[in-house]
Structure 1
Amino acid sequence: MSDLSPIELQIMWSRLIAVVEEQAQTLLRTAFSPIVRECGDLSAGVFDVEGRMLAQAVTGTPGHVNSMAESVRHFLDRFPPETMEAGDIYITNDPWMGTGHLNDFVLTTPCFLDGRLVALFSCTSHLMDIGGIGFGPDATDVFMEGLSIPFLKLASKGELNETLLAMIRANTRLPVDTEGDVYSLAACNDVGCLRLQAMMREFGLESLDALATHILDRSREAVLEEVRALPKGTWASSMTVDGYDAPVTLACTVTVHDEGIHVDFDGTGPQSPRGINVPMSYTTAYTVFGLGCVVASRVPNNAGSLGPLTVSAPEGCILNAVKPAPVASRHVIGQMLPDVVFGALRQAVPTRVPAEGTSCLWNLNVRGVAAESDGNYGFSMAVTSNGGTGARPSRDGLSATAYPSGVKGTPVEIAEAITPLVFRRKELRADSGGAGRTRGGLGQVIEVESRIGKPFELLAAFDRIDHPARGVDGGGDGEAGSVALASGRTLKGKGFQTVPPGDRLIVNTPGGGGIGPAAERPAEAVARDLAEGYVTAKR
């Protein structure tokens, strides 16, 4: 291994990224939950025997990938490498040591080559229902939010833990989907192991040690090179979001120095009595993702590139919630963190940072009576959707796009096939993007009703209703979101609510903020906006 050239090592690195991408595609193709197979709410990666992430799949979300990067170390603490055997599979959904809430299962599988442990494969996906009161923010502690799985063996030497699987089936409204997703996660890691074994035999590798050193050292130095080119100093930023029943302040200071970037969330509001709290693992995941987008967007994501980017938050604040705080809807706050960080970075590198966007997902978490029995207890689904992203310094924001999460929107045809709901309207929301030299992205209008004459529940977890995305440098704010019934009643942005039969749910997702004075927008861009219906003549 010591004689490998840089070119050979680079080829192997690229091959490793291809291995984990096939790992992720296996999960995408076999998952039962539509939020995974249709929208890509997952992560997959390979780790060395020390628990350092060497490569992540391109397919996946930052909240899963960057928090999973830390969770593998927790698996190693409980299952030391010398105790691992071929065919073992480990599982947890611990929010504080996993990916932030109980609805994400993390599976880790040791990979052996000729009897030697050479790597660990890990993956995560979102499961729609794991019991409790359901996937919403109404719980007052984590124990109300569903089944909790500590660090356990899902399989031992190839034999599945049938007792654990029975416990999982018994604690969900969707036993068929949930068990199927567990098998999907296990298969995903198995494919990763097979492909890595084939790669190592092809290249004559006995271990990944030299390749791991190359990947991590090169990645770390690439990030530090970008960091050292930035202005040095400390900048502060704050943002107010809706919260559950009172506004929440998110505050940070960003310090850039020669050895990295540190973000401190001192000044952020206290944890909430409801399930919008964020464990530190998820806070770190989205914070370093925001930093990476500005500082090192071309550097592959691994333990080396993540190392120079560090995060802290006071214990007990909403971004470092203490167990047993409820955390089911941690994405509502956690996905705002790139915007908070951008507010500080804008003072240092204004030409590289977008305006605020919708940021948090505007998922329609719906639940109710199914049209026919399919082995589950009714239906429960997250119809993924979003508003507009913030304008970029030289380009408009993206419309109806999930940034920073990266998940795709659920196709209407899929939602209607799985649930007894009909989507009467789903279109871009004119005039919702903040005006500016570069315009904010548009939100969308979604109108849905039951087709079987039965009520259905909305487990609302929305934000940017009272505090829309702000424009910068004279750019306009994005339009606020809203949730209502066609009959005229305004619904709350968070909490369980019922849509009665014969009525329709109408959701207006928010728009992104603009950058620069609208008077500076090129005339041809204004004409194009009018022609496409992005803005009205009145606006």
Structure 2
Amino acid sequence: MTDTIEEIRLQVMWNRLISVVEEQAMTLLRTAFSTSVREAGDLSAGVFDPEGRMLAQAVTGTPGHVNTMAEAVGHFIEEIGPGDMFPGDTYVTNDPWKGTGHLHDITMVSPSFRGDRLVGFFACTAHVVDVGGRGFGADGKSVYEEGIQIPIMKFAQAGAVNRDLIRILRQNVREPNQVVGDFYSLSACNEVGHRRLIDMMDETGLESLDALGDFIFSRTRAAMRDRIAALPRGAWENDMVTDGYDAPVRLATRVEIGAERIHVDMAGSDPVSRWGINVPIIYTKAYACYALKCVVAPDIPNNWASLEMFTIAAPVNILNAPRPAPVSLRHVIGHLVPDLVLGALAKALPGQILAEGAAALWNIHISARPANNAEGRRAEILMFNSGGMGARPGLDGLSATAFPSGVMTMAVEATEQTGPIVVWRKELRPESGGDGQYRGGLGQIIEIAALPGHEFDFSAMFDRVNHGARGRDGGGPGAPGAVMLDDGTRMRPKGWQHVPAGRRLVLQLPGGGGFGPPAARDPAARAEDLRRGYVSGAASLPRKPQETP
């Protein structure tokens, strides 16, 4: 009976710990300056034990941030050293290889002391609007061109902010108030987590998190072993071709399911690119693990013990790009990693894996200014947009939904107030979902223009333009995307480009692939698609199936 009561007590405290990190994340959402954080939730937050092992993460956040942060805390501990950690400290970096994969993400880690004893760490990550350099885009030839690099260092020591770091930041970014504001927001996020943790420990009489950590990890590890043990043993391969920058890029993987672990190898993928679409291995790991977790154990908490069951490897290539490779758009290729891994798992688990989707966010960074060098408002504006998800076994794909990143849609009103632009159109794109027994999710059509008397440059960060999402089990492909001006001028899917005053930029986002043979689609579902305008009359008829991996 005593053991049972203690287990119940530890389970209650585990739930309490999750509420602590949720409040930590909400602090970041409420106080962030950048719309990408405040509106889209492009962030992560979590609590770690003194060894840097993630105990719990906030549900709010992206897999790319959460799972890289889970590894990054160890780098902070190694760099700072336990002997140089004090109550009131906060550490920071945007190192792509020790943080989250590119310079635009700021990771902060704060030690949590109870009295003089180190009981854990809080960490958080967020995407900031600008880090200087060429701006958010694929045009850099090395990481040195992509912005200011902040090695792992102290943002604050014993509560005193590093003013020299703040001054350096202000001199190197285009939006200093937003960027510096987000640094303080990240620091406050960790501070709130620390205070709530100490309140919890005082209330429950915990001297340390050791027993709670053992409970969390042991239960998670046992549950993960059971799930992996139920999978078929063997190895399966998959590859895909994606747009790249100026030439297509091949990605390849081999997924091996063992008795207690799953190993993923990215050998066979194309070499490191000379453009900023490369992916540091820390980010490749994050999204490969996320794909595995979605299939193997979506309901088991994500922490150090669950992530430990997956191992990810790659030789030096585009999915394991070493310093100083340009990596600003690491998310474009990185967001395709789940589709790559899921394609291999579909061979191990036939009929159980969703079709490919748009995958990569259609981010756009806009640099708006008055035309002809006149006086007026200038601004750096970041928008996150999503295409369609692949159809699922038994369900149509979700439309205009960010998978795998999970970020939220940014409201048009919130975007327009940040700079001199107007979003004239934002609606679902008919005919974009792949046909099948279950239809792929639809993409969007978005039209953007500068206010009268203004013009803008934009950084295109788009994929699935020349290589649409593939269907699964006989389902049809999703429609590829397109980028153009309103007069029909075609634009490149990646790189900085210009939109003259008076012109509109038109984005046609890709749709998700279909699942299952189109002839098997329920006639009532086809009729409903037609009624809602998702398809035209001709497109509502069954299409010829397309077999894809």
TM-score norm. by structure 2 comes to 0.96
How far does residue 488 in structure 1 lie from its aligned partner after superposition?
1.7
- Write the distance in 2 (CA, Å) between the matches of 1:488 and 1:139: 28
- Write the distance in 2 (CA, Å) between the matches of 1:377 and 1:142: 30
Q: Which amino acid aligns with 1:523?
A: P
Contact 1:131–1:145 under 8 Å retained in 2 = yes
Q: Which amino acid aligns with 1:537?
A: G
Within 5 A, what are the aligned runs for 1:107-256?
Answer: 107-256=108-257
- Write the distance in 2 (CA, Å) between the matches of 1:94 and 1:364: 23
State which drifts further: 527-536 or 205-214.
527-536
How far does residue 424 in structure 1 lie from its aligned partner after superposition?
1.1
Are residue 47 (structure 1) and residue 48 (structure 2) matched?
Answer: yes
Contact 1:370–1:419 under 8 Å retained in 2 = no
Q: Which amino acid aligns with 1:196?
A: L
Q: Which residue of 2 aligns with 1:497?
A: 497
- Write the distance in 2 (CA, Å) between the matches of 1:96 and 1:232: 33
- Write the distance in 1 (CA, Å) between the matches of 2:31 and 2:352: 38
Are residue 73 (structure 1) and residue 71 (structure 2) matched?
Answer: no
How far does residue 419 in structure 1 lie from its aligned partner after superposition?
1.5
Q: Which residue of 1 aligns with 2:475?
A: 475
How far does residue 516 in structure 1 lie from its aligned partner after superposition?
1.0
SS at match of 2:427: strand
Gaps (5+ residues) in structure 2? 540-549
Q: Which amino acid aligns with 1:330?
A: R
SS at match of 1:455: strand
How far does residue 362 in structure 1 lie from its aligned partner after superposition?
0.5
Q: Which residue of 1 aligns with 2:543?
A: none
- Write the distance in 1 (CA, Å) between the matches of 2:292 and 2:77: 28
- Write the distance in 1 (CA, Å) between the matches of 2:262 and 2:72: 22
Contact 1:62–1:285 under 8 Å retained in 2 = yes
- Write the distance in 2 (CA, Å) between the matches of 1:107 and 1:311: 25
Contact 2:377–2:420 under 8 Å retained in 1 = no
- Write the distance in 1 (CA, Å) between the matches of 2:142 and 2:503: 33
Q: Which residue of 1 aligns with 2:315?
A: 314
SS at match of 2:390: coil
How far does residue 378 in structure 1 lie from its aligned partner after superposition?
2.8
| Residues 175-199 of structure 1 deviation map (CA, whole Å, 9 limit, x = unaligned) | 0100000000000000000000000
Q: Which residue of 1 aligns with 2:432?
A: 432
Against the structure 1 CA distance between its residues 153 and 15, is the aligned structure 2 distance closer, same or farther, given a 3 Å change threshold? same
| Residues 220-257 of structure 1 deviation map (CA, whole Å, 9 limit, x = unaligned) | 11111101000000000001000000110110000001
Q: Which residue of 2 aligns with 1:58?
A: 59
How far does residue 81 in structure 1 lie from its aligned partner after superposition?
2.2
Q: Which amino acid aligns with 1:326?
A: P
Gaps (5+ residues) in structure 1? none
Q: Which residue of 2 aligns with 1:506?
A: 506
State which drifts further: 58-67 or 361-370.
361-370
How far does residue 370 in structure 1 lie from its aligned partner after superposition?
7.0
SS at match of 2:189: helix
Contact 2:370–2:454 under 8 Å retained in 1 = no
| Residues 18-64 of structure 1 deviation map (CA, whole Å, 9 limit, x = unaligned) | 10010000000100000000000000000000000000000000000
Q: Which amino acid aligns with 1:159?
A: A
- Write the distance in 1 (CA, Å) between the matches of 2:519 and 2:366: 42
Contact 1:437–1:514 under 8 Å retained in 2 = yes
Q: Which residue of 1 aligns with 2:380?
A: 380
Q: Which residue of 1 aligns with 2:300?
A: 299
How far does residue 332 in structure 1 lie from its aligned partner after superposition?
0.4
How far does residue 453 in structure 1 lie from its aligned partner after superposition?
2.2
Contact 1:46–1:121 under 8 Å retained in 2 = yes
SS at match of 2:199: helix
**Percentage of pairs with the same residue:** 54
How far does residue 538 in structure 1 lie from its aligned partner after superposition?
2.1
Q: Which amino acid aligns with 2:307?
A: L
- Write the distance in 2 (CA, Å) between the matches of 1:239 and 1:441: 20
SS at match of 1:418: coil
Q: Which amino acid aligns with 2:337?
A: L
- Write the distance in 1 (CA, Å) between the matches of 2:501 and 2:370: 14
State which drifts further: 41-50 or 72-81.
72-81
Q: Which residue of 2 aligns with 1:405?
A: 405
How far does residue 425 in structure 1 lie from its aligned partner after superposition?
0.8
Q: Which residue of 2 aligns with 1:393?
A: 393
Against the structure 1 CA distance between its residues 428 and 213, is the aligned structure 2 distance closer, same or farther, given a 3 Å change threshold? same
How far does residue 80 in structure 1 lie from its aligned partner after superposition?
2.0
| Residues 372-414 of structure 1 deviation map (CA, whole Å, 9 limit, x = unaligned) | xxxx993112211010000001100000000000001111111
- Write the distance in 2 (CA, Å) between the matches of 1:201 and 1:350: 51
- Write the distance in 2 (CA, Å) between the matches of 1:367 and 1:262: 42
Contact 1:434–1:478 under 8 Å retained in 2 = yes
Q: Which amino acid aligns with 2:369?
A: V
Contact 1:49–1:81 under 8 Å retained in 2 = no
How far does residue 3 in structure 1 lie from its aligned partner after superposition?
9.6
- Write the distance in 2 (CA, Å) between the matches of 1:368 and 1:347: 47
Contact 1:279–1:321 under 8 Å retained in 2 = yes
| Residues 395-441 of structure 1 deviation map (CA, whole Å, 9 limit, x = unaligned) | 00000000000001111111111111111111000010000000000
- Write the distance in 1 (CA, Å) between the matches of 2:247 and 2:377: 34
SS at match of 1:388: coil
How far does residue 448 in structure 1 lie from its aligned partner after superposition?
1.1
SS at match of 1:350: coil
Q: Which amino acid aligns with 2:58?
A: A
- Write the distance in 2 (CA, Å) between the matches of 1:213 and 1:370: 59
TM-score norm. by structure 1 comes to 0.97
Contact 1:370–1:379 under 8 Å retained in 2 = no
- Write the distance in 1 (CA, Å) between the matches of 2:282 and 2:473: 33
| Residues 96-152 of structure 1 deviation map (CA, whole Å, 9 limit, x = unaligned) | 010000001110001111221111000000001010010000000000000000011
Contact 1:173–1:378 under 8 Å retained in 2 = no
Contact 1:135–1:365 under 8 Å retained in 2 = yes
Are residue 535 (structure 1) and residue 535 (structure 2) matched?
Answer: yes
SS at match of 1:44: strand
- Write the distance in 2 (CA, Å) between the matches of 1:92 and 1:417: 29
